[in-house]
Structure 1
Amino acid sequence: MTTTLQVSTDRPGTYPSVREALLDAPPGATLVVDAGSWAECLDVVDREVTVQAADGAVVEIVGDGGYDPTVRVRGGRVTLRGLVLRATEAAAVDVADADLVLTDCTLSATYGAGLRAADRARLTVADCTVEAAQQGLVLEDCSGTLERTTVRGSADDAVVLRLGAEPVLRDCTVEGAGHRGVYVYQSARPTLESCEVSGTTAEGVVVAQGARASLVRLHVHGTGGAGVVFDAGTSGRVEACRLESTPGLDVAEGAEVEVVEAPAAAAAGVGASDSGGGDPERVEELLAELDAMVGLEGVKDEVRSIIDEIQVNEWRRSAGLAVGGSSHHLVFAGAPGTGKTTVGRIYGQLLAALGALPGGPLKEVSRRDLVGQYIGHTAEKTAAVFDEAAGGVVFLDEAYTLTRQAGGGGNDFGQEAVDMIVKLMEDRRDTLAVIAAGYTAEMVQFLDANPGLASRFVKTVEFENYGADELTLITSRMVSSGDYRLDPEAEPVLHEHFATVERGADFGNAREARKLFEKLRKIQSQRLRRLGERPTLEQLQTITADDVRAAIA
């Protein structure tokens, strides 16, 4: 159950500072901050916490004027939403070895970076502005997605990507830099998709020192030097970009750069990701991954038919033909352990590869992630989940529990979550997909919970229980992937077990196979320990028929 702590200077019963609230915040807490200017630095270490502005409030956290970042994050998972974060001598936000979610924030730092990320930090940044910083973004040895974010008025390089950083910048704008717009070096591997770079005093984008950059639908103009530069020893791809500087593209001898020209009328820059270019090779890779899943033939056919329709619609859109509006929301109905989450992840990646969605994470959530404790809290939590899944998929596991009143009391907010989901599914139909999953009969009841809910989903995909052949194959794959092997006499025993095992409503399918494999490992270990000598390599790898009989007994 999420705890919400209120921060205010003039309301009784609240915390007088953000820092004090952080000290008391339990794991997963949300700090809601009232309007005002807060002169403090926040140091968050190995915590899971959200700090956000109260509805409609302008909240500035301005640091203490010293050399510490305004927000420093080390480990854990931190979400910052709707805040203005300012620093003077250090970074506004400094994150290392942690998950950071930044949504609708403004960052500035007079003599530091607006955002600095390092040491395997994982970023989810959307709808932010970084302004008047020494460097707007400094990202090293980190990954993640930055979308619809503007970096403006940087005194030096606006965006610095180095030391193996591999973020994706999508629909981002860089304008007005004192030196280069984007500097990629020291083996960084970024992707810049549908971004715009302008108003730099030097080059727009420079790739140097062994880095590799993928530039897709990039628009560069109004720069003081070349639009895009690849130094010797670098590599990358320049696809469908519009480079209006002189020269537009400068590739040094010794650089390996693939250049893919776009049709004359093709869009580039912010918003061009909606133009439907897609990645055919990636689509085929994902469909092959789907086909490689055991069983689920009906599911595969359904997903392929959906993808076929989306692909043709994208082709029609790029050809200037009319395309009817449609969403990508699905219902996955069936028993647990039948691959619903895996198929959902592949489906979301297919939508991104087709250009139908911007691309983002699969955010798997259940009732507890959405339902709050008081009026308004549920809508706030649900909106936050959709923010974190921007560009990707919200996967509602056991969605029907939202319409079951918890504990029989009168203050259950599951229906509020359903109503909010219906609204967000429509408002964000072009930027994410929702998959609601659960048992078949219960999902029918769930869809009746709101008059507009059923119409938001384009199709229900039914996941059947696995048969004995399929469960045997799934278990065999688990055995092989764990560096074991089944004795030839063991497989028939395994098949017989799955053919005769009782299958109630809660039968776990692949989960049952996983539990059986874990039992097999333990039984084999016990058998080998009783040998009284070190086992041979073959003995260490082999699971016998007797092991299987003992596991299913």
Structure 2
Amino acid sequence: MASAPAALRTVLVDPGRHGAYPTIGEALVDAAEGTCVTIAAGTYAETFELVGRRLTLCAADGAEVVLDGTGGDSPVLLSRGGAVELRGLTVRAGDAGAIQSEGTELTVSGCTVHARIGAGICARGTGPVTVRDTTISGAEHGIVLESTSGLLENVVVDNVSGDGMIIGLGADPTLRSCTVSGCGNRGLYVYQHARPAVEGCRITRTGQAGIAVAHRSAPALRHSTVRDALGVGIEFGAGCGGSVQACEVGNTAEPAILLDPEATTRVLADTGLAGGGGEGGTLDALLAELDGMVGLPGVKDSVRALVDEIQVNTWRRRAGLSTGAVSHHLVFAGAPGTGKTTIARAYGRLLRELGVLPRGEFREVSRRDLVGQYIGHTAEKTAGVFEEAMGGVLFIDEAYALSRLAGAGGDFGQEAIDTLVKLMEDHRDEVAVIVAGYTAEMIDFLAANPGLASRFSKTIEFENYTPDELVSIMVRMIGAGDYELDTASLPVLAEHFARHREDADFGNARDARRLFEGMRKAQSQRLRRLGRVPEPAELRALRVEDARAVIGG
């Protein structure tokens, strides 16, 4: 007959009781692996470092137990390896965070956590980590999970100076029914390939974006709410994926949902804005994204007019009324760096949402992708590229380079134009062709074939950004890169852009990007000269001296 499993050993900590341990530390020294350390009511001014231990610390039934580390310079609990569970405790930390684990199977349930500096709970490594029915307040960051998995359920993060929750470095936990409010920065920050599932959560009153996703992360956001953010509601950076489904976003900065042109995130139709939802939710989100782009008022009006015309034609067809033929091919004219590629990507997504294009995918090409080396080769290359773009947007940058009038040389470029004219006519409802380039050169391009100009429904003119708009673009780039710009830099940058805006080779947003990269390098050189490891705030800060190091003066 098999023997019964050994009962879980329990020891008591109670300074006023004979036969009990007077301190938690003494109990931990003697405790065997798997012991449950039960703690009587009281405040315990102790901090703990556990290495490879498997223990439970819990409050005695109905007891109010406070682990007070406010006078120390280390976390109240630091655990490396093993498995640690905390139940029903109040943890008060000083200047080093409250609970920190590295490679630990950490469980926190029914606890209250306070901190001043650092994170309320920070867990890195294999885990998994489980936090349930726990409130965190007053910390720099509420919860930080990196390179781990697990579950956060019914967790409340309130009144923290930095980010509410940070999920990074490939972490893939589930966040369920959590509430984050009163954050100085972002409510939820997801970075470095993290893939959390966020279900039924509520994020309110944030100093920056409600939810920010960066560095190729791919969260799944479902049935969650973001409201009252000083920044945008939900923001996905370049290369990020994931999805937004049945979420509500309201009373945030515009746009409510901001997707980088290079993000592959899916915003599903049951996502609503400003507490709305239902039919058109994704279209509204895409239009809000368009409105959230810096500058370009005339361009935005033109794109919205096209969307309105397509939408009304759809309604007319449903009503059995006649509609006129609409070409979706466009000419984008203007200087480099004025957002032509970004708008082209957004236009493709809008056409997909309107049901005009089945995929809305974006294919960018130039002369070398279309033009071959001998007669006949060009037609073959051009037809191949066109076929690959079917169902989406074919964007031809510097299209004037194809025209003989632009001095491209030989007839091979002209062969590409002639082939495009025929394909655009044969497949007018299956692809959107957008040609882009300098205004004067695009006029010559349209004259290269008698039928070319008639294939394009509209020419949209992109003006140079103003100095203030370029500064705003830089501020967004800097924030997306996890940097913070010294406000003293703003007039210096605006003056620089005003001085160079009319230069023949001025690149608008491209120049803003180069200036940002230059400031990052200048900051790196400055920090290396400190002779010590910089503080996190120093690593984020871009100062006016970094700007002057790049632009001079």
Per the normalisation by structure 1, the TM-score is 0.49
Per the normalisation by structure 2, the TM-score is 0.49
